[in-house]
Amino acid sequence: MNAIAFDPDVCKSCPTVDCLMKCQYIAIADVAEARQEKQKINAGQDCRVLHECLTCYACQEYCPNGNNPFFVLVERQEELGLLPAPRPIVAEQLKMMAPKGRITKAPVATPVVNMCAFPMLTGSIRGRLFEGASVITGTDIFCNVMWLHFAKNSVIRERVPMAIDNIMSYYLKDSDVTDMVCFHDECYGTYTTLAKAYGIDVPFHPIHLFDYINQRLDDLADAIKPLNQVIAYQRPCSNRLAPGTDAVLDEIFKKIGAERVPRKYDRENALCCGGVPRAHQRDEFADDLVEKNIADMLDIKATYCVFNCPFCMATMAQEVAERGLMPILVSDLVMAALGE
Amino acid sequence: MKDFVKKLETIVGEAFVSAEAEERYLYSMDQGTMPPAEPDAVVMPKTTDEVAQIVRLANEFKVPLVPMGGGLVLSGLTRALKGGVVVDMKRMDTVVEVNPASRYAVVEAGVSQGGLKAYLAKHHPDLKHSMPDAPPAATIAGNICIHGSGHLSVLGGFHSDMLTGMEVVLPTGEVVRTGSCSVSPQWFARAPLPDLSGLFLGWSGTTGIVTRLGIRLYPNYRYNDMLIYVCETAEQMPEAISLLTSVQVAEDMTPWMVPKPEWAKGFFHINIAFGAHSKKELIFKRNLIQESVRRLTDTKRAGFLPIPPVQKGRFMQIPSPDLARFADARKGGGFEYVGAMMAIERFPEAYARGMEIAEKFHVTYSLGARIIGAGHAMMFFFAYAFNRADTEDVQRAADALEETNRACLAMGGIPWKAELPAQKEILQQMDAGTVGLMDRLRNTLDPNRIMNPGNWEA
Amino acid sequence: MEYQEILHRCFRCGYCKFPSNYADINCPAYLSFRFETFAPGGRMWLLSALMNGKIGVSQRLGQIMFSCTGCGNCVEHCAMPDFRDQLLLAFTAGRDVILETGMVPGPVRDYLTKVQNSGNPYGKSGSKRADWRPGTDVAAYNGQEYLFFAGDVGSYDPRGQEIARSVAGLLKKAGVDFGVLADGECSDGNDVAMIGEQALFEELAEKNIKTFTDRGVKKIVTLSPHAFHAFKNLYPSLGGEFQVFHYTQLLAFFLGALSFQPDAETTRVTFHDPCFLGRHNLDYQSCRTVLSVLPGIELVEMDRNRKNAMCCGGGSGNLFTDMISGGDDSPARSRCREAHAAGATVMAVACPICAVMLEDAVKTEGLSDKLQVREISELVAERLAS
């Protein structure tokens, strides 16, 4: 088993302990307490943070040293048997999301769009934005990063290589394709940051959806009819694994006339959608997160609540719509600007 | 019989009597496994007076009468075991009265569950009645008379507990009323009178023909939600049920254990439905329910499934077509279940026996329950799908059902709306005095024994 | 028989009897007769019994099978996703089995005989097909953009002829380039196909296809939704590939070419969806679009509308065979009561069969002074600016 890429000395000498000090969910009094908690985590000891962690991935982004604090935390949770969610819930999800062996070989052509475990959203891959795209989807190519929310690094280590192998052997290899567009941040994060940290080889070239869309918008520049609307963006946890792509999203919004007005809970301060805390049996906390998010979006007078994570959208869309905002995926918003 | 049919025609009109082979065939059976028993004719009355005339005529000719509502009982209770005439009540389909202040409705015996639901949605959107899991074609009267249960049974108990009074044509043709409507123009309660409604509840149409009845209505909430509790073992279920019902917030609680989808196999779920006037109240109620089992969920042995709001709709559909779809599990249009009224502490045993029987007979199964009242009892069901076109498969399901019925009795449970073989088992196990009393009552009410004969016969 | 493999899979749960909200019985034959045998589930089980020799063919079975109007409510509401689409096909196959035994109910036999001998269910000469045209300046088809197909009821029934004249007149005013055939046409065969007489249907269809093809027809506009359905969905498999429109679809498109009188007194109008435009072809909108732009019309919906609309009872030849029979709860009378209860004084229709069925029912129901049945083109025409 490959150890997670992590340097305890770098962590030990960190002056800011941003991973915990910036955490929006765990109350830490000062750097001294943060450092103490970190030392316990690094030493494999039980501590408060391991119990209170919301598993939002944000510390991966906050760490100034790229030292994978969140992956290490999940490792410790699993080693110590500190499950954030009840056992039967994890067990059912493990079965639900397991590779089913239903995959069949199919020729693909660029752009290959990986819809991961969201087959119900394949209808989103349409129009000029995705012209000629080959769509691949199903639990056999599920990126499996979700197990970070459930203290299951072991499942990630077991299933991610299987998914990679399936993607290659059932789709990309025979068609001599190396590029793969990841519809979901989670996939991109898996095949870049996570794979690197876990020592998993990725034989293809993952492309973030934002990079793909941004490029396409240059090709389709003449077709863009600027939306001229204020939008609120619900940045998902998995984007913490690829924070550089958030700037690409800004370029996209600019091109389509979507104004991402600054708000409290965006960018580095993005708040969880509330989906995972419900699995952790923290519904009241999740309610609070949803309320803060939506109130913040309403404060900036947004018309659209834009999602890139389908799970965030499933969690929040109904409430968002009831409060007068229009829930929409980034790709659909772009298509609206293209008049489709 | 020809003369009898002619006379029936003079009562209800020629169009609503048939002694044709097609009607006799179709009314000889229901969707379950019981073998057909053909009636000589089928009649469809429109009024209480017509029912009374039919009953008097049947006494004169000594012709058995088998009252039928939706015909969806599955256990063959509306088969003409000794020939005679099936009385299809569905033309008596008027919602007679809704009293919003005292929250009751008076309906004719042929009013369907779907019909009342739609009527209330249109005319009294703040009210609802307890819908069983049967298809919407099931009748209110039929379901109450078999002690059905449904989507408000944690709140209000068995559907027969929600009954406020009845109009019944006795086996001798007299029309009687039970409950407050026997004294008052209003149908608000069965108390404080001698509870004669019991003479017609659970008797499978052997003591009279119900022509109209009053039922309790309940607040129809604007906001509704549901939770799915899940745990790892059957042994944990009685405690969970006890705790979840103890806060008295849920309207309905239905445990379920199924082999498919694969992810659900081997786990124990409880759907918990509740409603509220406001979102705030809804969240308060959700929190109460969740807190009730916090000591179990804190151990990580159990929890509530995270279900995105958009996916909850299918769990909250009333009635749910999924139940009917189970009939196509073997691509064969058939399923039947043993629903046994049982003490809740028997849950683990019932589950274990159900699994054993399903395995023994290789039947496609679905196990589950409906909690009655604040954890006062449960209707535990063992449902088996079969292929109607495959006689061996039908027989296998019938054998599994029979063994299940015996197992339920052995566990201290009582099969609900029991098939004929199960009725005999129940009677064998029943206190001799009770059996004698049932017989005396039937002889008194029905001296010619024309009402659905063959059922509840010692 | 075809589709025999699905017969036993019906559970007879009864969703097929109702609209989405279960408020009323929405199966025309079951509403009329009320025996379980006449519900779609009953038919499934009886056909299964017939195929297994448990029952035989009889007059009663004929009544049960041929009283189904093919309205599609059962297909729409059946709870079984795996075979619901095949329900009507199974009934049609079952009727075919009965037809082959020769024990066909008299009215059905007469209907088919007339169509066989005359090419229409009126038993009238094909040469009289264009008799609805006198008094109009409708041109003979000669390569115009559209062929206007008046169909059996539009060609031979006096009320149908009025409607045909009205629609043709309106299409002309809207600037639609069309003509009609004086010969060579016969029944579209839609209801013959529904009855299960596939050979006769093919004969009719092939005759029409040959005529249309020989005359160079590319686009057809039909008076009847039944013909629309046949041309659009049944003819292609026999080689008849045409662009097909119901006249209300063209009207909705060409409305802009018409000018209307200033607002008159408001009339409350309800719209009765024809089964073969609505449920069978999913166009619930064209007619409503037309009605919604007419001045002086307040459109009110009946409880049962769009996919839940109640059939008039005239489909699958029942306009002629009346296998569904009259009675207080005939579908047409039930529909008239519903329109009246919705507060409408006019029930708009878009099918000549519905027009004939419902106009009769309004009279029988004693609602003549409260409710009028009007065909959509007539409502349009009387509001045109002169």
Omega before residue B192 within 30° of 0, cis: yes
Query: What value does the mean pLDDT take over residues B43-59?
Result: 98
Q: In what order do the strands lie in the sheet with C372-375?
A: C297-300, C267-271, C346-349, C372-375
> Are B305 and B315 contacting, i.e. CB atoms less than 8 angstroms apart?
no
User: What confidence tier does B401 reach under pLDDT thresholds 50, 70, 90?
Assistant: very high
Residues above pLDDT 70, as percent of chain C? 100
Put simply, the answer to whether B321 touches C15 (Cβ < 8 Å) is: yes
Query: What value does the mean pLDDT take over residues B59-82?
Result: 97
Q: How far apart are CA C96 and CA C81, in angstroms?
A: 25
- Please tell me if residue C33 touches chain B, with a CB cutoff of 8 Å: yes
pLDDT at A242 over 80: yes
The pLDDT, as a whole number, for residue C285 is 97
Touching status, chains C and A (3+ beta-carbon pairs under 8 Å): no
pLDDT at C294 over 90: yes
Q: Give the best residue of B292, B305, B307, B312 to mutate against chain A (max A CB count within 10 A).
A: B305
Touching status, chains B and A (3+ beta-carbon pairs under 8 Å): yes
pLDDT at B297 over 70: yes
The pLDDT, as a whole number, for residue C252 is 95
Query: What value does the mean pLDDT take over residues C183-198?
Result: 96
pLDDT at B190 over 70: yes
Report pLDDT digits (tens) over B110-146: 999 999 999 999 999 999 999 999 999 999 999 999 9
The pLDDT, as a whole number, for residue B309 is 87
Q: Give the best residue of B22, B92, B336 to mutate against chain C (max C CB count within 10 A).
A: B22
B265 interaction partners in chain A (CB closer than 8 Å): 95
A287: closest chain B residue by CA: B283
Query: What value does the mean pLDDT take over residues B381-407?
Result: 95
Put simply, the answer to whether A87 touches B232 (Cβ < 8 Å) is: yes
User: What confidence tier does B1 reach under pLDDT thresholds 50, 70, 90?
Assistant: confident
The pLDDT, as a whole number, for residue B321 is 84
State how far residue B313 is from chain A, nearest Cα, in angstroms: 12
Report pLDDT digits (tens) over B303-341: 999 998 888 988 999 998 888 888 888 899 999 999 999
User: What confidence tier does B184 reach under pLDDT thresholds 50, 70, 90?
Assistant: very high
In the numeric block, which tokens belong to residue B61? Answer: 């000719």
Residue B150, amino acid: G
pLDDT at A311 over 70: yes
Torsion of Cα atoms, C341 then C342 then C343 then C345, to 10°: -90
- Which residue from C207, C221, C201, C205 is spatially nearest to C141, judged by alpha carbons? C221
pLDDT at C263 over 80: no
C36 interaction partners in chain B (CB closer than 8 Å): 23, 26-27, 71, 88
Put simply, the answer to whether B303 touches A85 (Cβ < 8 Å) is: yes
The pLDDT, as a whole number, for residue C326 is 74
State how far residue A111 is from chain B, nearest Cα, in angstroms: 31
DSSP B86-133: EEE-TT---EEEEETTTTEEEEETT-BHHHHHHHHHHH-TTEE----S
Put simply, the answer to whether A85 touches B267 (Cβ < 8 Å) is: no
The pLDDT, as a whole number, for residue A1 is 65
State how far residue B384 is from chain C, nearest Cα, in angstroms: 14
Put simply, the answer to whether C34 touches B16 (Cβ < 8 Å) is: yes
pLDDT at B208 over 70: yes
C50: closest chain B residue by CA: B22
Query: What value does the mean pLDDT take over residues C272-281?
Result: 98
Put simply, the answer to whether A86 touches B267 (Cβ < 8 Å) is: no
Query: What value does the mean pLDDT take over residues C111-130?
Result: 95
Report pLDDT digits (tens) over C16-46: 999 999 999 999 999 999 999 999 999 999 9
Put simply, the answer to whether C14 touches B25 (Cβ < 8 Å) is: no
Q: Give the best residue of B300, B301, B305 to mutate against chain A (max A CB count within 10 A).
A: B300
| Mean pLDDT value across chain C | 96
Omega before residue A88 within 30° of 0, cis: no
**Beta-carbon-side half-sphere exposure of residue A204 (alpha carbons within 13 Å):** 32
Q: How far apart are CA C90 and CA B220, in angstroms?
A: 40
When mean pLDDT is compared across B290-299, B302-311, B369-378, the lowest value belongs to: B302-311
B267: closest chain A residue by CA: A88
Query: What value does the mean pLDDT take over residues C247-271?
Result: 91
Q: Give the best residue of B237, B263, B299 to mutate against chain A (max A CB count within 10 A).
A: B263
The pLDDT, as a whole number, for residue B311 is 86
Buried b (16+ CB within 10 A) or exposed e, C189-228: bbbbbbbbbbebbbbbbebbbebbeeeebeebbbbbbbbb
Report pLDDT digits (tens) over A196-229: 999 999 999 999 999 999 999 999 999 999 999 9
pLDDT at C194 over 80: yes
State how far residue B343 is from chain C, nearest Cα, in angstroms: 30
Put simply, the answer to whether B389 touches C12 (Cβ < 8 Å) is: no
pLDDT at A282 over 80: yes
Buried b (16+ CB within 10 A) or exposed e, B38-62: bbbbbbbbbebebbbbbbebbbebe
State how far residue B302 is from chain A, nearest Cα, in angstroms: 6
When mean pLDDT is compared across B98-102, B121-125, B130-134, C260-264, the lowest value belongs to: C260-264
- Please tell me if residue C265 touches chain B, with a CB cutoff of 8 Å: no
Residues above pLDDT 90, as percent of chain A? 98
Cα distance from N-terminal residue to C-terminal residue, chain C: 58
pLDDT at C264 over 80: no
Chains contacting A (3+ CB pairs below 8 angstroms): B
CB pairs under 8 A between B and C: 113
